[in-house]
C-alpha cells in the first residue's frame, strides 16, 4: 500500500490475513518500527519475513544504503556507519517538486524566489540541512530512521554505531548517499 501512515494504521490490519491469507506490503512509515511487523528488503531479509501477513518496507534512503552495506556487513561486520544523504525535492512529494520548479521559474522571470511553502527554507539555489523534525538527541527523524531501520533489518547490536546526516538538495528526483564505514 502506498498510502499515508494513518490510512495504513487503520486499514492494513483489516485487509491483511483473513480467509484468503492476504499479504499487505506497506510503504508508509506506520509499521516500520513495530516489533511485530517485519521490515523487509527481500534481497537482505526476505525469506520467512516475506510470509508475514503485514510487511513494512524501509525508508528510501535506508533501502539504498542497506543494499550496499549488507554484503559488506556479512563479510566484514560493520562497526560504525556514517551516512550523508542528499535528497531530492521528490522526497517531499509533488508539492516539493512544484515548489522547486516554481521557485526556479520565478527567479528566471522576476529575479527572486518566492517564500517557501513545502520546505522550511528556500530550496532553489540552496541546500537545507534538515529533513523532518529534530529529535531530543539533535538528529532529525529522517536521520534517525536510517539508524533505527538498519538496526532492525540487519539485526545490529547497539555496539554498532550508525550516524546519518540528511540534506535536501535542489534536484527534482534521485537521492544520493555518501557512506563511510568502519568494520571489525
The catalytic site residues sit at: 60, 175
| 81 CB neighbour count, 10 Å cutoff | 24
29 closest CA partner among 56, 64, 10: 56
Q: What are the helix (H) ranges across 57-158?
A: 60-76, 93-110, 141-154
Instruction: Tell me if 49 sits within 8 A of 8, measured CB to CB.
Output: no
Whose grid coordinates read 492476504? 22
Amino acid at each position: 500500500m502506498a498510502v499515508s501512515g494513518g490510512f495504513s494504521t487503520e486499514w492494513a490490519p483489516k485487509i491483511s490475513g483473513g480467509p484468503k491469507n492476504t499479504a499487505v506490503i506497506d510503504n508508509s512509515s506506520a509499521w516500520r518500527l513495530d516489533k511485530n511487523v517485519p521490515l523487509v528488503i527481500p534481497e537482505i531479509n526476505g525469506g520467512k519475513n516475506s510470509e508475514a501477513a503485514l510487511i513494512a518496507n524501509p525508508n528510501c534512503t535506508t533501502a539504498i544504503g542497506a543494499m550496499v552495506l549488507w554484503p559488506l556487513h556479512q563479510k566484514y561486520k560493520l562497526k560504525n556507519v556514517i551516512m550523508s544523504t542528499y535528497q531530492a525535492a521528490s522526497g517531499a512529494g509533488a508539492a516539493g517538486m512544484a515548489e522547486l520548479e516554481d521557485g526556479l521559474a520565478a527567479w528566471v522571470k522576476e529575479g527572486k524566489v518566492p517564500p517557501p511553502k513545502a520546505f522550511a527554507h528556500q530550496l532553489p539555489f540552496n541546500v537545507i540541512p534538515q529533513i523532518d523534525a529534530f529529535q531530543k538527541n539533535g538528529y532529525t527523524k529522517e536521520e534517525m530512521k536510517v539508524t533505527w531501520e538498519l538496526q532492525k533489518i540487519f539485526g545490529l547490536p547497539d555496539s554498532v554505531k550508525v550516524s546519518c546526516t540528511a540534506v535536501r538538495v535542489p534536484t527534482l528526483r534521485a537521492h544520493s548517499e555518501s557512506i563511510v564505514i568502519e568494520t571489525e
